[in-house]
Amino acid sequence: MTRSTRSTLTNRPDRPPAYDAALTDEQLAVLRGMLEQQRAFRVDQLAQLHRPGTPGPLGSANQEVVASLTAGARAALHDVQKALWRLDEGTYGACTRCGEPLGLERLEILPQAGLCMPCQRNADDDTGPARPGRVGGRDRSRSSS
Ligand SMILES: [Zn+2]
């Protein structure tokens, strides 16, 4: 059934056939640029956080803040790096959990996104802020097909 649409859309040997809804090379290039910018930004941020002898406004009482900033920057850098790997692999733009296309809109806002919205929501429920006694009962009421 879906066979016929495929040959007309994609005659690209360089891309897996599952990527009919994939982004154009141009869009990918723009997103790659955004990711590389973010990577540079995070690398820079981490370097600054770890530069010894930089007198921060709060001195050493700032340790915890630095630690949490570092953790955040590292996590962000990790996400960006993974997205760049997916770009190289050719799997960029699809949800890493369910394989659905993420959509250009989402990627433009969050180029390092690896999960589609529903999966992201589930992931947030799983690993997000610790809220005991509340295990993902939220999606029940509004399941927008
Ligand atoms: Zn998904």
CA 6 to ligand 1 centroid distance, Å = 22
Write the Ramachandran bin of 143: left for phi over 0, alpha for psi from -120 to 50, otherwise beta: beta
> What CATH number belongs to 18-126?
1.20.120.910
On the question of pLDDT at 140 being above 70, the answer is no
CA 22 to ligand 1 centroid distance, Å = 15
CA 45 to ligand 1 centroid distance, Å = 30
CA 100 to ligand 1 centroid distance, Å = 6
- Pick from 6, 5, 84: nearest CA to 38: 84
CA 106 to ligand 1 centroid distance, Å = 12
pLDDT for 8: 47
Which whole number is the average pLDDT over 5-30? 63
Which whole number is the average pLDDT over 7-25? 56
What does the alpha-carbon distance between residue 89 and residue 126 come to, in Å, rounded to a whole number?
A: 27
What does the alpha-carbon distance between residue 93 and residue 116 come to, in Å, rounded to a whole number?
A: 9
pLDDT 10s digits, 67-108: 999 999 999 999 999 999 999 999 999 999 999 999 999 999
Q: Percent of the chain at pLDDT above 90? A: 54
pLDDT 10s digits, 109-129: 999 999 999 999 998 887 655
Q: Classify burial at 55, counting beta carbons within 10 Å of its beta carbon; exposed 0-12, middle 13-18, buried 19 or more.
A: exposed
CA 97 to ligand 1 centroid distance, Å = 5
